[in-house]
Amino acid sequence: MISFWERESLLQYDVIIIGSGIVGLQTAIQVKEKHPNYDVLVLERGLLPSGASTRNAGFAATGSLSELVADAAHTPEAAIIDLFAKRKSGIDFLRAQLGDAAIGYKNEGSHELLTAEESGILDHIEHYNQLLKEVSGSNSFALADQQLGSFGFSSGRFKHCIACTTEAALHTGKLIKSLLRLALQKGVEIKTGAEVTHIESRNGKNEVIVKDGFHERIHFEAAQVIVCTNAFSSRFFPGEDLQPGRGQVLVTKPIENLKVKGIFHFDQGYYYFRNVGNRVLLGGGRNLDFTAENTTDISLNEQIQDHLVALLKTDLVPGRGVEIDMQWSGIMAFGATKMPIIKSLEGNIHGGFRLGGMGVALGSMVAVELAQRIE
């Protein structure tokens, strides 16, 4: 049961945001900057974010060349430029807002690795440099085969290296912690362990029904609600083109004299790895089993994890006696296109989701647009 005091002061807000990942926290910050007097509440079902915001590889990524070439088969070039610009703007926004040190931003190089069979991708470098020059300010891609021998890979797998000049690494944990601190400084309230079961619109208000560990149900109330739950948004926005995609990730124990520096991706971005404190963080392989990975179940796919371990030991750091320290997964959201969905329903319910595995880059731009919908 709820007390008089709780009903009077703890359950009513101007804006309630569901989800405390990058998009949710950034949206709360942006709403408070536009409306400092609004009472803003963020609700998170877990003690930690439940999707991919704290489970990704920490790539400040705009997209590899092979990914853009593949997208061009079904996406107009104007849309490719627009999405690339949003990704770059989102990264620039975070850096300006929080500072490089606060998010662990390090530009130690970004590299796309190609096999001999993918050599045709090199023919597209000049075209995409010209296409994206107005966005990037300079060339986005450069042939860097001369660097390939310096990373310690096996000699058989990769034949070419493309430098991606608009990408870098960051520290995902520091990013979320910095957003949390900024949100609290702005006066945002954040409640974790609060699973939203449904939203009901009544008499110009929205009731947000939450299940917690003490009360059976708590009914919060807000004039406007914003859903920032990415792959978990279907319950609030049924019928949208939204498919979950689980990503498998692992990290090694420290490796002495590790030659891998910067961030790397290959196979159209389906695989990605980097150096984190002289450890290799490796993720991907979703394309090995799209059916199994089309899920919101945060668990390990042993087949893919075994494949990642084998890839690590045979091709990325061969002959080094690598030991695995941690393995985990995160949940992303995809659809027929890679452009995020930003939508409003009757009753002042808004949503921003389907970030296509690019939440670090796209999250802030989605949040800015969501905040603009709040009156």
Question: How does DSSP assign 179-190, residue by residue?
Answer: HHHHHHHTT-EE
pTM above 0.85, yes or no: yes
Q: What is the CATH number of the domain that holds 232?
A: 3.50.50.60
In a domain, residue 71? The reply is yes
pLDDT of residue 123: 98
Average pLDDT estimate for 29-37:
98
In a domain, residue 131? The reply is yes
DSSP character at residue 340: P
Q: How many CA atoms lie within 13 A of 331 on its CB side?
A: 20
pLDDT of residue 215: 67
From 159-163, 270-274, 343-347, the region with the lowest mean pLDDT:
343-347
Residues 79-103 have pLDDT tens digits of 999 999 999 999 999 999 999 999 9
pLDDT of residue 89: 97
Residues 329 and 302 in one domain: yes
Q: What is the CATH number of the domain that holds 284?
A: 3.30.9.10
Number of residues that this document lists for the chain? 375
In a domain, residue 227? The reply is yes
Residues 183 and 225 in one domain: yes
Residues 13 and 131 in one domain: no
Residues 225 and 270 in one domain: no
Q: Is 202 helix (H, G, I), strand (E, B) or coil?
A: strand
Of all residues in the chain, what percent carry a pLDDT higher than 70? 100
For residues 17 and 2, what is the distance between their CA atoms, to the nearest angstrom?
A: 22
Residues 211-254 have pLDDT tens digits of 977 767 899 999 999 999 999 999 999 999 999 999 999 999 99
Which tokens in the block code for residue 91? Answer: 């990264």
Residue range(s) defining the domain that contains residue 48: 4-53+174-240+338-372
pLDDT greater than 90 at residue 202: no
- The chain-wide mean pLDDT, for the chain, equals 95
In a domain, residue 87? The reply is no
pLDDT of residue 49: 83
Residues 149 and 27 in one domain: no
For residues 93 and 79, what is the distance between their CA atoms, to the nearest angstrom?
A: 21
| Strand 189-191 to 40-43 pairing | parallel
Average pLDDT estimate for 7-16:
94
Tokens 């998009």 correspond to what residue? Answer: 23
pLDDT of residue 41: 98
For residues 84 and 88, what is the distance between their CA atoms, to the nearest angstrom?
A: 6
Average pLDDT estimate for 156-185:
97
Rounding to the nearest 10 degrees, give the CA dihedral for residues 308, 310, 315, 317: 90
pLDDT of residue 204: 82
In a domain, residue 60? The reply is no
Task: Grade residue 50 by pLDDT with cuts at 50, 70 and 90.
Answer: confident
Report the candidate in 246, 243, 251, 236 with the shortest Cα–Cα distance to residue 316.
251
Residues 159 and 70 in one domain: yes
Average pLDDT estimate for 198-214:
88
Average pLDDT estimate for 275-295:
97
In a domain, residue 91? The reply is no
